[in-house]
């Protein structure tokens, strides 16, 4: 809740009867005296007559606009009031927390509109103490949390008030609230005010102390006169000083947010961002807070740092903050929504108890409990050890070290052979940004500019699954190799093997043939591990792999002794033995594990008996709150490091290994997810997808998604869509792309721009449109829900995603101007500003595709700072000679008459990067 002209504060207290209503009345009067338009809102009121806070304020601060959204006559806690009011009447459902927050937000928004152009304030008085229940029974701190208004804490002057006030303050901090001021009555016997002045000042919070209210007089008339005189005194200098301070805090907050984009552009180095393409302040999303599925993002039309208390004369938007749906789950980390209170408390508890303690040769119960939980869940039946690291990439480094050491020890390889070991994997896989994890992936856009990258392996091209035109299709190298009636049929790998799916033999022959051919090259390559992302290869483009292919690949590695002769000492079942066979198998479940795809471990999609030898988990592990990764291993892998020599140990770790905060949060996350499953939180999604599957299998065993089956079917039939997949939290839409598929494709840009720059939604807007932030993977747009995302929220996202895909493209700039004479060319160069000139021979095939891209870029609002021109060198040979162009296509960029860049290329991404660099250098 943030408006340029409207300052909003939530008035809270540690309990009832500490003075919230008196201070609210005094603040309203002080604000009126300072010339503000003032509103007072009591969201929930209980009691009547003298106990009615709104009537009290109307009587003693008549210039304010007052309102009460939900009122009950009985003076009890709101949850009891609504319950008792319903007794003997037709049952009226209490408003949900979402409806409650929406009602408060709507009132604030309407008041902001009514007071546009005037310096204004709105005081929202809470009920009871900070954790008093709302109408639904939820703590009101949680109910107000989507709005996150700044707070004024009314401290208790009574005996015991120091403890209750500090507890209230800490409750506010734990839920992300700002405390802008503390107010307290001056009471000399207990002298709480004196303690508070020192305690809160040390924490940078101003304390306002006012005289204690007078005792109530027997005569109502005299009492009212006495109280009026009291309000006149405290609302003069004491509370006016507080209001001045609140006004300045409000301006400082706006200034800090408004200047954040430029400060960020000047000082921060972002990951996975080409800074040459992100140069405008409007390109920076300023996140003020986050809650549930949404960021609260500061508007780009915000005030500047020069704003002052006297310049609120121009109308402004109702709110400078907009809720924005977090479409990427903040880089795939979220599973319970942002700022989940149970996770916050778990982190605070671990921090308060441990801080951070070292781990080698030590233990702590949060870490030990987490290890036991993971071994009993994702590691059940195969894993015996848990290794802690800091994130997914380093967790995969650890996994590689484990697997390669195990292979090298069993094969008794020498030092030189060990250093040359390679991995077997899949094209499109990606296991992290550290050098070792990167070397386990085929070269690509992520690694081509990394100086030390050296791909150490061989990667097979796996068949990809998409729903196309409502049908589940499997394609390999662009050719269809299979079709299925439903995802349930596709993911029934055990059933497909039992039914002798012919694809199993096709895959086996293909895998064996490709590996044989690779080994036959004669360069001495030796594989030391198989590494897979089960079911979905995320960073490679949300590639859904036919799980039967991965199952056959694992089985081949473990059972084909001709290709992979390494085996355990005893000749046991090579596919399911707990001791590894052929090659150690690593499952990278950093992204897909822990219910991201609807199952605790995605390895079960490969069949009930398929388990890894090493597996890595992160992201969802801590509910998206703090970084941590776990690498699980079998005892056979662990024993490869066992000796009496320190040098043989797994010499890998970081200073914060098994930090208690991460372990405590992870334990709570797993507990919540198990509870949700037990309580049937996923049942409606399972029913939706089981209804769309022509199978008799129980709903619990079928694949399902938080995204509706009807939407997935509908979008798969859109003519702009090449295919779509949905599983668990993940939705991936592959767009038809003129510039080809892959990470460097720009096909998704216009769609994501429509989604991001909608007109606002939720608690801060009346618009039905929701702003949606998403990150593309080339021509793939993906969206990721949390496991507790409300169905109505995802339905709105689905509607807007479909509308954005369906929207017609509009040209927002003048088309490319064709230069038709040498004089025109010289005139254009003499004019100020940036321009790009394309030199082409239209009849050449090499020019046709890039010319179409040049025209497309000219119509893109993103490049509005540059004028686009085209020269046909066959028609305008003199212009080509003047420009020194001998080969086409060529692109010359000018700032005025000065040439700043020249490019000869048919690569659309390279052309786009060049334009971005030209704009960045201007």
Pair 160, 185 in one domain: yes
281 inside domain: no
- Predicted confidence at residue 309, as pLDDT, reads 37
Pair 374, 322 in one domain: no
Q: Are 76 and 48 in contact (CB under 8 A)?
A: no
pLDDT band of residue 612 (cuts 50, 70, 90) is very high
Pair 331, 347 in one domain: no
Residue 212 CA to residue 226 CA, distance in Å, equals 13
CATH code: domain of residue 595: 3.40.640.10
Parent domain of 352: 341-678
Percentage of the chain modeled with pLDDT above 70: 90
Residue 64 CA to residue 58 CA, distance in Å, equals 7
Q: Are 437 and 393 in contact (CB under 8 A)?
A: yes
Q: What is the pTM of this model?
A: 0.84
The closest alpha carbon to 612, from 557, 561, 669, belongs to 557
Pair 776, 825 in one domain: no
Residue 829 CA to residue 343 CA, distance in Å, equals 61
Query: How high is the mean pLDDT of the chain?
Result: 90
Pair 738, 852 in one domain: no
Pair 200, 64 in one domain: yes
Which DSSP string corresponds to 597-637? Answer: TSSS-GGGGG-TT---SEEEE-GGGGTTSS--EEEEE-HHH
Q: Are 776 and 327 in contact (CB under 8 A)?
A: no
The closest alpha carbon to 743, from 783, 775, 779, belongs to 779
- Predicted confidence at residue 808, as pLDDT, reads 76
- Predicted confidence at residue 568, as pLDDT, reads 56
- Predicted confidence at residue 49, as pLDDT, reads 54
The closest alpha carbon to 340, from 672, 104, 658, belongs to 672
Residue 543 CA to residue 429 CA, distance in Å, equals 9
- Predicted confidence at residue 304, as pLDDT, reads 35
Give mean pLDDT, residues 176-180: 98
Which DSSP string corresponds to 328-396? Answer: THHHHT-SS-BT-HHHHHHHHHHHHHTS----TT---HHHHHHHHHHHHTTTTTT--EEEEESSHHHHH
Domain limit, last residue, from 662, 678, 694: 678
For 734, the enclosing helix (H) or strand (E) is: strand 730-735
Angle of helix 660-678 relative to helix 365-376, nearest 10 degrees? 40
Cβ neighbors of 414 (< 8 A, separation 6 or more) are: none
496 upstream amide cis, omega within 30 of 0:
no
Pair 380, 510 in one domain: yes
Q: Is 603 exposed, middle or buried (0-12, 13-18, 19+ CB in 10 A)?
A: buried
Q: What is the pLDDT of residues 506-560, one digit of tens each?
A: 999 999 999 999 999 999 999 999 999 999 999 999 999 999 999 999 999 999 9
Residue 134 CA to residue 493 CA, distance in Å, equals 49
- Predicted confidence at residue 848, as pLDDT, reads 73
Domain limit, last residue, from 809, 826, 846: 809
Percentage of the chain modeled with pLDDT above 90: 72
User: In the sheet where 321-326 sits, what is the strand order?
Assistant: 286-291, 294-298, 321-326, 771-773
Cβ neighbors of 796 (< 8 A, separation 6 or more) are: 761, 768, 770
Cβ neighbors of 872 (< 8 A, separation 6 or more) are: 818, 840, 841, 842
Pair 484, 589 in one domain: yes
Q: What is the pLDDT of residues 629-667, one digit of tens each?
A: 999 999 999 999 999 999 999 999 999 999 999 999 999
- Predicted confidence at residue 567, as pLDDT, reads 65
pLDDT band of residue 922 (cuts 50, 70, 90) is low
Q: Is 689 exposed, middle or buried (0-12, 13-18, 19+ CB in 10 A)?
A: buried
Compute φ and ψ for 153, nearest 5 degrees. Answer: -95, 120
11 inside domain: yes
269 inside domain: no
- Predicted confidence at residue 224, as pLDDT, reads 93
- Predicted confidence at residue 310, as pLDDT, reads 39
264 inside domain: no
260 inside domain: no
The answer for 35, left when phi > 0, alpha when psi is -120 to 50, beta otherwise, is left
888 inside domain: yes
- Predicted confidence at residue 822, as pLDDT, reads 87
Coil vs helix vs strand at 821: coil
313 inside domain: no
Coil vs helix vs strand at 534: coil
Pair 486, 594 in one domain: yes
Pair 674, 686 in one domain: no
Pair 670, 695 in one domain: no
Domain limit, last residue, from 775, 790, 809: 809
Q: What is the pLDDT of residues 445-462, one digit of tens each?
A: 889 899 999 999 999 999
Pair 869, 762 in one domain: no
Q: What is the pLDDT of residues 272-322, one digit of tens each?
A: 999 998 999 988 999 999 999 999 999 855 333 333 333 443 444 568 999
Residue 608 CA to residue 602 CA, distance in Å, equals 11
Residue 688 CA to residue 231 CA, distance in Å, equals 60
Residue 305 CA to residue 303 CA, distance in Å, equals 7
262 inside domain: no
Residue 196 CA to residue 217 CA, distance in Å, equals 30
Q: What is the pLDDT of residues 68-123, one digit of tens each?
A: 998 876 767 777 777 777 665 654 577 899 999 999 999 999 999 999 889 999 99
- Predicted confidence at residue 404, as pLDDT, reads 98
With 90 as the cut, is the pLDDT of residue 694 above it?
no
Number of domains in the chain: 4
CATH code: domain of residue 902: 3.40.30.10
Q: Where are the alpha helices (DSSP H) in 157-219?
A: 161-174, 192-201
């Amino acid at each position: 809740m943030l408006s340029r002209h409207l300052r909003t504060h939530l008035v809270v207290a540690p309990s009832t009867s500490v003075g919230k209503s008196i201070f609210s009345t005094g603040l309203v009067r002080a604000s009126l005296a300072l010339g503000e338009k003032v509103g007072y809102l009591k969201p929930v009121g209980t009691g009547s007559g003298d106990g009615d806070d709104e009537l009290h304020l109307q009587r003693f601060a008549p210039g304010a606009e007052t309102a009460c959204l939900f009122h009950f006559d009985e003076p009890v806690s709101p949850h009891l009031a609504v319950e008792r009011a319903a007794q003997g009447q037709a049952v009226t459902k209490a408003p949900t927390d979402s409806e409650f927050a929406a009602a408060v937000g709507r009132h604030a928004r309407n008041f902001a509109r009514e007071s546009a152009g005037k310096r204004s304030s709105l005081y929202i008085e809470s009920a009871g103490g900070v954790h008093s229940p709302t109408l639904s029974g939820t703590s009101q701190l949680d109910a107000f949390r989507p709005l996150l208004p700044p707070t004024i804490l009314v401290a208790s002057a009574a005996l015991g008030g120091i403890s209750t006030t500090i507890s209230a303050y800490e409750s506010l901090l734990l839920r992300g609230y700002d405390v802008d001021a503390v107010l307290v009555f001056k009471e000399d016997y207990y002298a709480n005010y004196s303690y508070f002045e020192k305690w809160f000042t040390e924490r940078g919070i101003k304390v306002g102390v006012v005289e204690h209210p007078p005792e109530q007089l027997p005569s109502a008339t005299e009492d009212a006169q006495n109280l009026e005189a009291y309000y006149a005194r405290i609302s003069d200098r004491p509370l006016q000083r507080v209001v001045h301070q609140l006004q300045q805090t409000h301006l400082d907050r706006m200034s800090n947010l408004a200047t954040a984009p430029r400060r960020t552009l000047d000082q921060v180095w972002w990951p996975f961002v080409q800074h040459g393409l992100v140069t405008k302040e409007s390109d920076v999303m300023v996140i003020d807070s986050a809650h549930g599925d949404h960021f609260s993002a500061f508007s780009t039309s915000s005030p500047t740092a020069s704003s002052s208390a006297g310049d609120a004369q121009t109308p402004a938007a109702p709110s400078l903050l907009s809720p924005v749906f977090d479409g990427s789950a903040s880089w795939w980390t979220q599973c319970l929504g942002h700022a989940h209170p149970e996770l916050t408390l778990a982190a605070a508890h671990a921090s308060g108890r441990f801080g951070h303690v070292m781990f080698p040769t030590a233990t702590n119960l949060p870490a030990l409990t987490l290890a036991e939980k993971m071994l009993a869940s994702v590691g059940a039946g195969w894993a015996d050890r848990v290794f802690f690291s800091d994130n997914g990439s380093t967790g995969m480094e650890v996994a590689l070290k484990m697997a390669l050491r195990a292979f090298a020890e069993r094969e008794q390889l020498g030092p030189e052979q060990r250093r040359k070991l390679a991995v077997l994997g899949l094209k499109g896989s990606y296991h992290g940004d550290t050098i070792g994890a990167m070397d386990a992936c085929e070269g690509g856009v992520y690694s081509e500019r990394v100086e030390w990258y050296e791909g150490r392996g061989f990667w097979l091209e796996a068949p990809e699954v998409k729903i196309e035109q409502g049908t589940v299709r499997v394609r390999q190298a662009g050719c269809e190799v299979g079709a299925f009636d439903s995802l349930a049929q596709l993911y029934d790998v055990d059933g497909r093997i039992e039914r002798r799916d012919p694809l199993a033999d096709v895959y086996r022959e293909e895998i064996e043939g490709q590996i044989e051919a690779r080994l036959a090259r004669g360069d001495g390559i030796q594989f030391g591990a198989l590494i897979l992302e089960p079911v979905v290869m995320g960073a490679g483009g949300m590639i859904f792999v036919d799980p039967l292919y991965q199952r056959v690949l694992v089985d081949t590695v473990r059972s084909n002794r001709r290709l992979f002769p390494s085996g355990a000492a005893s000749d046991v079942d090579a596919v399911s033995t707990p001791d590894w066979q052929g090659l150690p198998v690593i499952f990278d479940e950093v992204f897909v594990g822990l219910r991201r795809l609807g199952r605790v471990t995605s390895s079960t999609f490969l069949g009930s008996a398929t388990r890894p030898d090493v597996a890595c988990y992160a992201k969802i592990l801590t509910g998206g709150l703090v970084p941590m990764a776990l690498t699980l291993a079998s005892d056979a892998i662990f024993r490869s490091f066992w000796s009496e020599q320190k040098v043989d140990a797994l010499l890998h770790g970081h200073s914060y290994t098994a930090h208690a905060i991460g372990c405590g949060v992870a334990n709570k996350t797993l507990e919540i997810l198990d509870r949700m499953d037990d309580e049937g939180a996923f049942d409606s999604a399972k029913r939706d997808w089981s209804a769309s599957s022509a199978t008799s299998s129980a709903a619990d065993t079928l694949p399902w998604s938080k995204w509706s089956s009807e939407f997935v079917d509908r979008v798969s039939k859109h003519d702009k869509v090449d295919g779509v997949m949905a599983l668990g939290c993940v939705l991936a839409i592959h767009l038809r792309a003129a510039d080809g598929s892959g990470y460097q494709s720009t096909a998704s840009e216009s769609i994501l721009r429509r989604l991001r720059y909608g007109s606002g939604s939720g608690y801060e807007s009346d618009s039905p449109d929701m702003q949606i932030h998403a990150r593309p993977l080339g021509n793939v747009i993906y969206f990721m829900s949390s496991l507790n995302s409300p169905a109505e929220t995802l339905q709105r996202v689905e509607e807007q995603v479909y509308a954005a895909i369906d929207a017609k493209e509009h040209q927002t700039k003048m088309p490319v101007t064709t230069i038709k004479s040498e004089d025109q060319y010289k005139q254009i160069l003499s004019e100020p500003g940036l321009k790009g000139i394309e030199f082409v021979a239209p009849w050449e095939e090499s020019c046709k595709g890039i010319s179409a891209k040049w025209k497309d870029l000219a119509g893109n609002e993103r490049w509005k700072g540059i004028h686009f021109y085209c020269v046909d060198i066959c028609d305008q040979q003199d212009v080509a000679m003047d420009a020194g162009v001998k080969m086409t296509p060529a692109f010359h960029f000018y700032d005025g008459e000065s040439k700043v860049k020249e490019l000869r290329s048919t690569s659309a991404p390279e052309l786009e990067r060049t334009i971005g660099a030209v704009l960045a250098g201007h």
